[in-house]
Structure 1
């Protein structure tokens, strides 16, 4: 019985290893590429892929390559909602203390997706809303997340996603972005200086040791979100990120 249980766990580990390898290969990979990236026997890889294809978690393309399947979207959406639910009390505390909108976002492929938000009581609303995707280089949460990654990984992300500039304030080249990420690493937080939306400023910090790259932020009009606001907001954001790190670790 113990041997069967152990074998079952091993099969689960192998399935997730394959899914992560497909993800790391930008979503498409051949059977031989998978075999070269893992110590699993080729027949085992083929058997597991056949099962995953049958369940809809992997697709086999006409060119015989394997790609992630549509059923994973449902799992990802469920996980995002759960992250947002865990974060909501901390986001609400930020709004109560600072009076501006608080957000949580995670890295989703080469973009950030907002998974949690508690809006400000002020009438002005930001572009952000739960479920919305945005480029990493032009958002506070995105830059906070990028600053936790190696420069080569950052180059890959923006190389695939591009660096569109929504406003004249946005960073439009990789060298400027990497220099900005060095500043973020040094000071411990990022700033969206009207880069996503003119008239809106955002401060963000990464959540350390999160199961997926994650950041939280507070955002509002530049008339209210100024240097004095930053002096109050950064310590509160940092503390909220620390608490969330613990809570996400407990939930894992």
Structure 2
């Protein structure tokens, strides 16, 4: 154990417990350090950005706040992964979590197993949102202008014999999609695969949870989607799936 690291961590903990800041003498006392040692470590922590000093009081600095933010983000990611794994095991299907952010479709997490593998991304998911359930579900949550902007950047093109043929046909389909209804597609992105996606409402952001099945199990698609939708509604608030992950 490196004693100077231990002492610096005790000082950081003491500062973190004092939202209104604290002077060096108080921090030294709480950390159980001699005042000269505390002064030396506090100056180092300020220099490195982990603390800042204002009018003789010490506060957490930007570097410490970045660590805290990163830790919170990792916790959210872990929560999402655990949630998807729960749904994967409950339904016996691969489960996906995706968001629409900064004009792009992003598949953030996937939970699958060797027995039930995820769909292989053989064509870029970002460029083929018109063809898969995840993309269609996310686009359906956008306003008309945002949809058209996306499709201008990523034009509709058939990638299987079952893919929607043109932009107007896709826009009509999206307009008919119920606000909280599952979106399904059958072999539009990958031959031999059917998919369903459930919209997630999170303020003005668009997100979706999806599942996939082999096409010979198409009869399972809607029942599994309804069960996933029920699970999402039951667990979303407590498990805090976050658009910001």
TM-score calculated relative to the size of structure 1: 0.58
Helix, strand or coil for the counterpart of 1:202? strand
Instruction: Select the residue among 209, 220, 224 that pairs with 1:216.
Output: 209
**Alpha-carbon distance between aligned partners in 1 of 2:128 and 2:74, rounded to the nearest angstrom:** 20
**Alpha-carbon distance between aligned partners in 2 of 1:199 and 1:221, rounded to the nearest angstrom:** 6
Q: Is the 8 A contact 2:134 2:197 kept in 1?
A: yes
Equivalent pairs counted in the alignment come to 174
| Aligned match of 1:17 | none
| RMSD of aligned Cα (Å) | 3.4
Q: Is the 8 A contact 2:207 2:243 kept in 1?
A: no
* Bigger CA radius of gyration: 2
Closer, same or farther in 2 for the Cα pair 1:103/1:125, shift >3 Å?
A: closer
| Aligned match of 1:61 | none
Instruction: Select the residue among 166, 181, 190 that pairs with 2:183.
Output: 190
Residue segments in structure 2 that go unaligned for 5+ positions in a row = 1-70
Closer, same or farther in 2 for the Cα pair 1:84/1:144, shift >3 Å?
A: farther
Q: Is the 8 A contact 2:138 2:208 kept in 1?
A: yes
Instruction: Select the residue among 65, 78, 85 that pairs with 2:78.
Output: 85
TM-score calculated relative to the size of structure 2: 0.60
| Aligned match of 1:175 | 168
Alignment of 1:203-242 (within 5 A): 203-209=196-202, 212-224=205-217, 226-240=218-232
| Aligned match of 1:147 | 140
Deviates more, 1:119-128 or 1:157-166: 119-128
| Aligned match of 1:72 | none
| Aligned match of 1:66 | none
Closer, same or farther in 2 for the Cα pair 1:79/1:196, shift >3 Å?
A: farther
Alignment of 1:58-77 (within 5 A): none
Instruction: Select the residue among 111, 115, 130 that pairs with 1:118.
Output: 111
**Alpha-carbon distance between aligned partners in 1 of 2:212 and 2:189, rounded to the nearest angstrom:** 11
| Aligned match of 2:26 | none
**Alpha-carbon distance between aligned partners in 2 of 1:127 and 1:80, rounded to the nearest angstrom:** 27
| Aligned match of 1:161 | 154
Helix, strand or coil for the counterpart of 1:185? coil
**Alpha-carbon distance between aligned partners in 2 of 1:249 and 1:111, rounded to the nearest angstrom:** 17
**Alpha-carbon distance between aligned partners in 2 of 1:121 and 1:176, rounded to the nearest angstrom:** 36
1:132 shift after superposition: 6.0
**Alpha-carbon distance between aligned partners in 2 of 1:195 and 1:250, rounded to the nearest angstrom:** 26
Helix, strand or coil for the counterpart of 1:188? coil
